[in-house]
Structure 1
Amino acid sequence: MINESIKPRFCETDGLGHINNTVVAQWFEGARDPVFEWFTPDLSLSNWKLILAKTTVEFHAELQYGAKVELKTFISRIGNSSFDVYQEAWQADKKCASGTAVMVHFDHQAKKSQKISATTIECMKAHFIEL
C-alpha cells in the first residue's frame, strides 16, 4: 500500500460544506504519482509511458473540510500491458470514497500498448490487494 496524508483545502468544498465530488478524482490522480514513477522515474511528459483507460469513484460517506484525509493506493489487478490501481480516501477512521483507475503501459510513438516489465510487476506485487 502507498499511503499519503492530505489536508483538504477550503476551495475544495461545495455549497453544502462537503468536499466537492470532482475533487476526489484529482486527489486519487495525485496519489498515483509513485505508480507513475515505476514507468517514468523522472515523470517527464516527453517520456511518458502510461494512459488512463478508465476511472471510477464511489462515495461511501461525506468528506469534510478541516480534517486530514488518508489516501491509500493499491494495485488490484496486473495484466500483460494493463493494470488496475485501487484507491481509498479515509477521514476520521471511515472509508469515505474508493475508486479504480485502469492504466495501460503505452508507447506513444508507436500508438500501441506495451508489455509490463518483470521489474515493474515486482514493484506492483509489493502493493497488491485482493478485492
Structure 2
Amino acid sequence: MPRPDAWRLSPDAYPIREAVQTRYQDLDPNGHLNNVAFAALFETARVLINQSLGGREASPAFGAVVARNEINYLAEGRFPDAVEIATGIGKIGNRSWEMLAAMFQNGLPIATCDTVIVMTTPVGEPIPAPVRERLEALRASPK
C-alpha cells in the first residue's frame, strides 16, 4: 500500500478535529493501540459527522450505511496519550460520499481512514439538497 498523499498527513487539510482519549483496554500485548481500537476511534469521529449532516431532518426515511472502510496504519499509537482525529468529506456522488480522516498522536500522523457511505433510503432518490450542502461545506482539501 503506498503512503497517503502528503496533504492527507496534515490536520489543517480537514475541517473537523476531535480529541479522543485512548484507553488501557485499547492496547495489544505489545503495548500498542490495536487495530480494533483504531477502527473504533475513527468510527466515533465518523458517526459524529454523519449525525451532524441532518439526513433525517431532510428526509424522515433517510438511511445510510458504510459500504467500504480502509485504514492505513502509519505508526504505532500509545496509551495514555489522546489522539486527534481530523475528518472531512472527499468525493460526493449521487447517493454516496467519501469520508476522509487522519489520526494524529503527539502531532504525528499515525493512521488514515477512507470510508464510503452509501444512502440506502429513500430508494432511488439522490442525496437530499440540505445534506449535500453540508457535505460540500465539510470538504477536506490540500491547504
Structure 1 residue 68 corresponds to structure 2 residue 82: yes
TM-score (ref. length: structure 1): 0.86
Partner amino acid, structure 2, of 1:9: R
Q: Using the aligned pairs only, state the percent identity.
A: 26
RMSD over aligned CA atoms reads 1.9
Number of residue pairs matched? Answer: 124
Partners of 1:28 and 1:114 in 2: CA distance: 28
The residue correspondences of 1:1-131 to structure 2 (distance < 5 A) are 1-37=15-51, 38=53, 39-40=55-56, 49-107=63-121, 112=123, 114-130=125-141
Deviation at 1:47, TM superposition (A): 5.7
Partners of 1:69 and 1:90 in 2: CA distance: 6
Q: Which has the higher contact order (CA 8 A, sep 6+)?
A: 2
Partners of 2:62 and 2:38 in 1: CA distance: 23
Partner amino acid, structure 2, of 1:90: F
TM-score (ref. length: structure 2): 0.79
List gaps (5 residues or longer) in structure 1: none
List gaps (5 residues or longer) in structure 2: 1-14
Richer in helix (by share): 2
- CA distances 1:66-121 after superposition (whole Å, capped 9, x unpaired): 111001111011111000001111001101000111001111xx7x4541122111
Partners of 2:35 and 2:139 in 1: CA distance: 27
Partners of 1:40 and 1:30 in 2: CA distance: 19
1:29/1:48 CA distance change after superposition, 3 Å: farther
Partners of 1:73 and 1:99 in 2: CA distance: 9
1:114/1:24 CA distance change after superposition, 3 Å: farther
